[in-house]
Amino acid sequence: MKKIFEGNVVNPLPVVLVGTMIKGRPNYCVIGYMSPFDFGKHVFFSLYKKRYTWTGIQENKTFSVNIPSEDMIKEVLICGSKSGRDVDKSELFHNFYGDLETAPMIRECPLNMECSVTDILDYDPSKGIVGKVVKSFVDPSLVKDGSVDMRRSRIMTWTTGGDFAYYSLGEKIPVPEDIGE
């Protein structure tokens, strides 16, 4: 018999820092649920309307998705606990830009995407943000034979149901060659 669990058990998920420009300055916040869809051409996340990052989304209709490595835990905790209204989080990182000049990205993150907003859903007290991935950036040291070796990225994951803790990305599971026919 399985135990009934109140809450979401789609875990773990990658830790994501969403970047926006607000009043000409990069700002970053931690997002717990970032969902790719349409075969990775789009992403979706929810954001409380009171979050400072919402100002940048409204102002520019762009954002970045920055996936930090586990050695960035201190910066992730700051971005998740301090508001950009009070703390200049752009000083935590080396910022860079792609085609979208209002979607600041974090050089220290092994994986980055710049996105343009395609839709905003309103469900109080949050907004659902849909973004089209314009371009992705990957640390060159992670690319092997034209593919990204995610194990070497050392990205963080976290659980939102259960212990609400951070974890390292696990080991690659070997796939048996003979799976029966």
% helix, strand, coil for the chain, step of 5: 20, 40, 40
Structure tokens at 40: 């990775």
pLDDT for the residue 9: 77
DSSP 178: -
pLDDT for the residue 101: 94
The vertex-177 CA angle with 175 and 181, nearest 5°, equals: 115
How many Å apart are CA 107 and CA 65, to the nearest integer? 12
pLDDT for the residue 46: 94
Q: Which domains does the chain have, with CATH numbers?
A: 14-168 (2.30.110.10)
How many Å apart are CA 156 and CA 143, to the nearest integer? 18
**pLDDT per residue rounded down to tens, the chain (181 residues):** 677 777 777 778 899 999 999 999 999 999 988 999 999 999 999 999 999 999 999 999 999 999 999 999 999 999 999 999 999 999 999 999 999 999 999 999 999 999 999 999 999 899 999 999 999 999 999 999 999 998 889 999 888 776 788 888 878 888 888 876 6
Strand, helix or coil for residue 79: helix
CB atoms within 10 A of CB 7: 8
110: Cα separation from own chain's centroid: 12
pLDDT for the residue 168: 87
What are φ and ψ of residue 73, in 5° steps?
A: -60, -40
The vertex-159 CA angle with 37 and 150, nearest 5°, equals: 60
